Amino acid sequence: MKKLAIVGLSSLLSTAVFAQNNNIGGTITGNMESTFQYLNEDSLIGANQPAEKGLLNSYMNVFYRNGNFKAGMRIESYLPRIQGYPNQFDGTGLGMRYIGYENDFIDVTLGSIYEQFGSGMILRAYEDRALGYDNFLDGARVIVRPFPGMKIKGVYGYQRFSFQSGRVVHSDGIVRGFDGELNLNTAIESLKSKKLKVTLGGSFVSKYQKDDRDDLILPENVGSYGGRIKLRYKRFTLDGEYIQKEQDPSADNNFNYNYGHAALINAGYTQKGLGILFSAKSVDNMSYRSDRNKTLQDLLINYLPSMNKVHTYNLVATLYPYATQPVGEIAYQTEILYTIKRGSKLGGKYGTSLNANFSTAYGPKRNAVNQDFSDTTRVMYETGVFEMSDSLYWRDLNFNVYKKFNRNFNMKLSYFNITLNNDVAKVTDNAKGLIHTNIGVAEVNYKISTKHSIRGELQALFVKPKEDGSINDNGNWATAVIEYNISPGWFFSIMDQYNYGNPSEDLRVHYIYGAVGYIHDATRITAGYGRQRAGLFCVGGVCRFVPASNGLTLSITQSF
């Protein structure tokens, strides 16, 4: 009897423990990616063989959720890191971990935190594994939703800087942030049915870093604050955000004591078959890092979106890309997408899509007030919001037409006219000043049968010669891509980038790269072999330089 009681009791106890969570056992999700490279020496294109010959990057995320409880972690491994990955990565170890509790009212997290306030111009902690970018905050976060439509967030933590000998290395300075957002139409009963939708938000972020200079009196706490508004009225939208940053002397701004600002405006109109967008941005002295001595992409607290289209065709995307100049720029963009109706004369049976996009960026106008470095204020210039100079940084005019001719055949034609100021947004050592390019791309898709299809791309890039008539940068390029797909499992592709216009005849090289991929549900295995050109590799506005390479790349990704 006693024994039975013990069995019964232990049984009951363990059930009770589990019964607290209505979802017994919880759920586990995650993903992994592993990339292996074996590289050859190829002196013609400047590709080096690393001493180890073989390189391996891997990571795996695991997320656990049980009722209101959540936890997650990531193991990272660089043995050693693949080419072009940030050089502060080596070893194997825990790269990210958190635990948390969440219900409709409160959400608390301890550990590694990804977060964004508003458009991110004041605070954005995020990751981009393809680039090796990860600036999460290691600390605590609380999100409170006191009533429907209202959300208040608070974060506190040290930023992730790098990953050395299998351990995360943190920033010197600490970051603290608070953000509130109120959706008026959700919060206030009488506004629920109104056609005008209004959302208001406000943020405050502050960083602390010890004064590490003897010659300057540095502010140890640097605050940044701003507000935002989102308006929707029928088919019209209007968003705006304004952020001001207090005196933040840093390596980026030559230790000046100016205030900084970032302003962003987006206006849009959409209806079925038509979309129009107009955006404007003004940025001055807005690099905001948890360590004032860092540069490039290190330890940024905020994110300044670059205001131009993200291009996908190889020659357009990687040769002359542009990223926001955090030190200062005024930028404008407009985009139109129109689909000509099905069945009309121009639209044909399937409709025809037309897309045009224009973006430009200029340097801010700065009125020098003080060129004297012995002056103790160290306020170097004055500038206003949207006050621009005539110094062109970037201009991109592009359009494309997409037409489906019949069930099996479609085509897309694109044209790009791009001007980049290489003195400001440097992408090459072989050019000075403005680089003008014209690029044309034709893409065709042909469906052979239900499962078999073929895709081809032809791209040509023409660089305008220098004023003396000589070839600018590396001259003209042409690219051809052929891709054969067998749905849903296989793809085969070959790409040839040919630098036929290079000023040096020896360097008129074919960069040929072939790839094979096998996809089974959420598993993806790819193998590629060939030459890859040196260039800027950009995802979502952040870029890293990838050196030229020649060799084998194997990659596996898996979700679960």
Cβ 88 to other proteins shortest distance, Å: 22
CB neighbour class for 165 (10 Å; exposed up to 12, middle 13-18, buried from 19): exposed
Nearer to other proteins, 23 or 344 (CB): 23
Cβ 134 to other proteins shortest distance, Å: 11
Cβ 507 to other proteins shortest distance, Å: 30
Cβ 71 to other proteins shortest distance, Å: 12
* Amino acid residing at 521: D
> How far is 173 from 155, CA to CA, in rounded Å?
14
Nearer to other proteins, 15 or 254 (CB): 15
Nearer to other proteins, 19 or 296 (CB): 19
Residue from 323, 326, 319 nearest 289 by CA: 326
Nearer to other proteins, 35 or 437 (CB): 35
Nearer to other proteins, 16 or 368 (CB): 16
- Backbone angle region of 18, left / alpha / beta, with phi > 0 → left and psi within -120 to 50 → alpha: alpha
> How far is 169 from 94, CA to CA, in rounded Å?
11
Distances (CA, A) of 503 to 470, 473, 499, 500, 533: 8, 8, 10, 9, 17
Cβ 231 to other proteins shortest distance, Å: 10
Nearer to other proteins, 217 or 274 (CB): 274
> How far is 52 from 246, CA to CA, in rounded Å?
47
Cβ 490 to other proteins shortest distance, Å: 8
Nearer to other proteins, 182 or 434 (CB): 182
Match 């970051």 to its residue by tokens.
Answer: 175
Cβ 384 to other proteins shortest distance, Å: 23
Question: 146, 179 in Cβ contact below 8 A?
Answer: no
Cβ 537 to other proteins shortest distance, Å: 14
Q: 143 Cβ partners below 8 Å, 6+ apart?
A: 106, 107, 108, 151, 152, 153
CA 94 to chain centre: 23
Alpha helices in 274-387 (DSSP H): 314-318
> How far is 330 from 364, CA to CA, in rounded Å?
6
Tell me: cis bond preceding 148? Omega within 30 of 0 counts.
no
Cβ 338 to other proteins shortest distance, Å: 6
Distances (CA, A) of 493 to 486, 510, 520, 528: 12, 16, 18, 9
- The tokens for 320 are 């002359």
Residue from 153, 264, 276 nearest 205 by CA: 153
Nearer to other proteins, 96 or 427 (CB): 96
Nearer to other proteins, 193 or 312 (CB): 312
SS3 16: helix
Nearer to other proteins, 228 or 365 (CB): 228
Nearer to other proteins, 9 or 369 (CB): 9
Nearer to other proteins, 340 or 434 (CB): 340
* Amino acid residing at 164: Q
Cβ 465 to other proteins shortest distance, Å: 31
Nearer to other proteins, 432 or 451 (CB): 451
Cβ 54 to other proteins shortest distance, Å: 22
- The tokens for 310 are 């993200």
Question: 546, 534 in Cβ contact below 8 A?
Answer: yes
Cβ 275 to other proteins shortest distance, Å: 3
* Long-range Cβ contact pairs of 168-171 (< 8 A, separation 24 or more): 168/93, 168/94, 168/95, 168/96, 168/138, 169/88, 170/138, 171/290, 171/291, 171/299
Cβ 126 to other proteins shortest distance, Å: 5
Helix, strand, coil distribution of the chain in percent, nearest 5: 5, 55, 35
Q: 145 Cβ partners below 8 Å, 6+ apart?
A: 104, 105, 106, 151, 152
Cβ 26 to other proteins shortest distance, Å: 9
Neighbours of 338 (CB within 10 A): 13
List beta partners, residue 229. 200, 240
Question: 261, 242 in Cβ contact below 8 A?
Answer: yes
Nearer to other proteins, 226 or 305 (CB): 305
